[in-house]
Amino acid sequence: MATVETVTGRIDAEQLGTTLVHDIEQGIQETGIKAAFLKCAADEPGVTENIEKVHRAVARASVRTGAPIMAHSRPASQTAPRQIEIFEEEGVDLEKVQIAHTGDTDDLDYIERVLEKGVYIGMDRYGLEIFLPIERRNATVTALLERGYGDRMFLSQDYCATLDWYPIEVEQQLLAAGAAKDWSMTLVFDQVIPVLRDAGMTDDQLEMMMVENPKRWLGR
């Protein structure tokens, strides 16, 4: 199986960016189905040489097409500042960038450092206790709302309808160990929104995070 490292090692950022532009403007693999946004990721190893190449390709495709970017990040490795720096170097409009999984940390100093760049952030892994418990996620969102960042956040649970990253026995072991709790497509609606309301979240703030912010990011 080809990995990101082996595939991106064979082509440069400009070639990859051109392929992404085709997916946005013409359609993916000749289906005529056009991509709505661009995705890139940096995780535990940080922004390696090939991961940087992918970010630059995504950035160039965004500049050429106006498509927004969702950037998977890992707060534990503090990847977001470097990811954003690359986008800035390539001339991306940071209003079109969402730094996903920012809610995996409750380090408000780190989060505000990300927000100061003008990007959106994903408070989007509710239920994945392996990264941060739900109570601490709620406290973080509440604190950010109190600081006036409601117009920069997305709420979600990063739920996978099917998961094949691990053998089934490994997945079962992780769940048994408490890696996820009540993880479902409706977790945010069932358990998060009521708690945030009790903590002071207004209807306007909820509408902002669930509807208006995604609309603006997508350019709708």
| Averaged pLDDT of the chain | 93
User: How distant is the alpha carbon of residue 19 from its chain centre?
Assistant: 22
Q: How confident is the model at residue 1 (pLDDT cuts 50, 70, 90)?
A: very low
Q: How confident is the model at residue 123 (pLDDT cuts 50, 70, 90)?
A: very high
Look at the chain and report how many structural domains it folds into. Answer: 1
Percent of the chain residues topping a pLDDT of 90:
82
Full domain range(s) for residue 32? 4-218
User: How distant is the alpha carbon of residue 7 from its chain centre?
Assistant: 22
Question: How many C-beta atoms surround the C-beta of residue 203 within 10 A?
Answer: 8
Q: How confident is the model at residue 7 (pLDDT cuts 50, 70, 90)?
A: low
Supply the pTM of this predicted model: 0.92
Q: In this predicted structure, what is the pLDDT of residue 151?
A: 98
Q: In this predicted structure, what is the pLDDT of residue 164?
A: 79
Q: Residue type for 36, please?
A: A
pLDDT at 4 over 60: no
User: Pick from 201, 39, 20: which is nearest to 122 by CA?
Assistant: 39
CATH number, residue 109: 3.20.20.140
Sign of CA dihedral 115, 147, 197, 126: positive
Backbone torsion region of residue 30, taken as left when φ is above 0, otherwise alpha when ψ lies between -120 and 50, otherwise beta? left
End-to-end CA distance of the chain: 37
Q: In this predicted structure, what is the pLDDT of residue 92?
A: 98
Q: In this structure, what token pair is assigned to residue 202?
A: 């207004």
Helices of type H across 90-211: 108-115, 134-146, 168-176, 187, 193-198, 203-207
**Mean pLDDT for the stretch of residues 139-158:** 98
Q: Rounded to 5 degrees, what are φ and ψ at 98?
A: -115, 125
Q: In this structure, what token pair is assigned to residue 123?
A: 């408070």
Q: Which of 4-13, 22-31, 146-155 has the lowest mean pLDDT?
A: 4-13
pLDDT in tens, 61-100: 999 999 999 999 999 999 999 999 999 999 999 999 999 9
Q: In this predicted structure, what is the pLDDT of residue 6?
A: 58
Backbone torsion region of residue 189, taken as left when φ is above 0, otherwise alpha when ψ lies between -120 and 50, otherwise beta? alpha
